[in-house]
Amino acid sequence: MTCMNLALIEERCMTARSILYKIFMLFIVYLFLLPVTSSASQEHKEFNTPPDKDGPTTVYIGLYMLDIIKLDQPRQMLVARYALSLHWKDPREAFESADNKPDIVIGDEIGERIKYMWWPDPQITNQLGAITEINKRLLIEPDGDIFYSAVFVVETATTLEFRKFPFDRQIIRVEFESFSFPKDELDYKVWGERTGVNHNFQNDEWILHEMSSTAGIRRLWESEADDWSYVSFHVPLLRRTAYYLWRILFPFCFFILLSTCVFWMQRESLDRRVSIVAAFALTAVAFNFVVSSYFPNVSYLTILDTIILSGYLMCGITIVSVISLELFRHHRKEKIWSYGNMTARFVFPIIYILIWYSIYEIFMSSSDKIVYLIDHS
């Protein structure tokens, strides 16, 4: 019985020594790997730190609009193709090169490369959908100058103003900001040489004008604790009005002006003359329904809406004038009836044209107080 106890005790001691030996070996391995992991952690922390220790790192950003793919006016959304350019200097990325050639990384390899270097993290603040990158390139000079360029397609939100439609001029904006580094660590500057628009761009509805840009410091939301550096690019778009003038505006105004021909038809009966004006008014209404799909869906009046509404009112005024003049004839006041018809032949078309021109001047005026007051009443 005693021998069996001694054997059991000896077996347990051997097991304990084996466990202690394994723990000791694991401790030795840990001590051996500790400097390596610590160095890697420190190196990773170094990569996440901007290169300039004395102040914010300056990153130059340029944007070039290549073309417009789609401008969704009811949703106030733009899909366009851009070329983005970034430039900054990071001495930690400097390297020796016998032929002074830069290190070039292209395509998907860039994503793996920037894991081991500092990245300014530019984000489009008014972005709606995912960015589709067509091609991209990262170039690192031996002295640490870094250049990044990419061509991409993105859907962005933009504010469209249609009060002057179809003579409107829209401003498309694209804003960049970093949400990783506040203004004390990162400072965006506009890269003027890499900013602009494609002058060879052709579109049936829009004309591209020169791009403008602003840079500064702001808080995107009032509740934010930090200030951030941002760059905002603005592209003016001028609508081509020829289609709306020749296909919509001029035909509609022609129908309304043609209704004044009843003042030349003195031998026709009253009901006949009124029915002619009503026929032209109904033609204008039907024409408006046909072309209404080309109008922006907004709650306020545009120039085109106001001209069309005034045209309906003019048809009503023409009918009332015809009936009023016919009453003079009914009361045997032939001279007043004849003089009124002769005067209305020329006065009514001139007044209608002047009213339409006044509408245009009111809407296109820089201080559009009348329209603003009506719309916000």
Give the confidence band of 41 by pLDDT, cuts at 50, 70, 90.
very low
Q: How far is CA 336 from CA 33, 274, 345, in A?
A: 112, 19, 14
User: 367 pLDDT exceeds 80?
Assistant: no
Average pLDDT of the segment spanning 316-334: 84
pLDDT of residue 99: 83
Stronger pLDDT, 58 or 291, i.e. the higher one: 58
List b or e across 226-263, with b for residues whose CB sees 16 or more CB atoms inside 10 angstroms: eebbbbbbbbbbebeeeebeeebbeebbebbbebbebb
Cα separation, 202 vs 80, whole angstroms: 13
pLDDT of residue 45: 42
Q: What is the dihedral of CA 279, 280, 284, 286, to 10 degrees?
A: 20
**Global pTM value:** 0.73
Domain positions in the chain are 8-47, 57-240, 243-375
Beta bridge partners of 118: none
Domain 243-375 class, CATH top level: mainly alpha
Give the confidence band of 327 by pLDDT, cuts at 50, 70, 90.
confident
Give the confidence band of 294 by pLDDT, cuts at 50, 70, 90.
confident
CATH hierarchy code of domain 57-240? 2.70.170.10
Domains 57-240 and 243-375 share a fold: no
Percentage of the chain with pLDDT > 70?
83
pLDDT in tens, 202-227: 888 888 889 999 999 987 676 667 78
Stronger pLDDT, 9 or 238, i.e. the higher one: 238
pLDDT in tens, 110-163: 988 888 899 998 999 999 988 999 999 999 999 999 999 999 999 999 888 888
CB atoms within 10 A of CB 371: 19
Written in H, E and C, the secondary structure of 260-314 is HHHHHCCCCCHHHHHHHHHHHHHHHHHHHHHHHHHCCCCCCCCHHHHHHHHHHHH
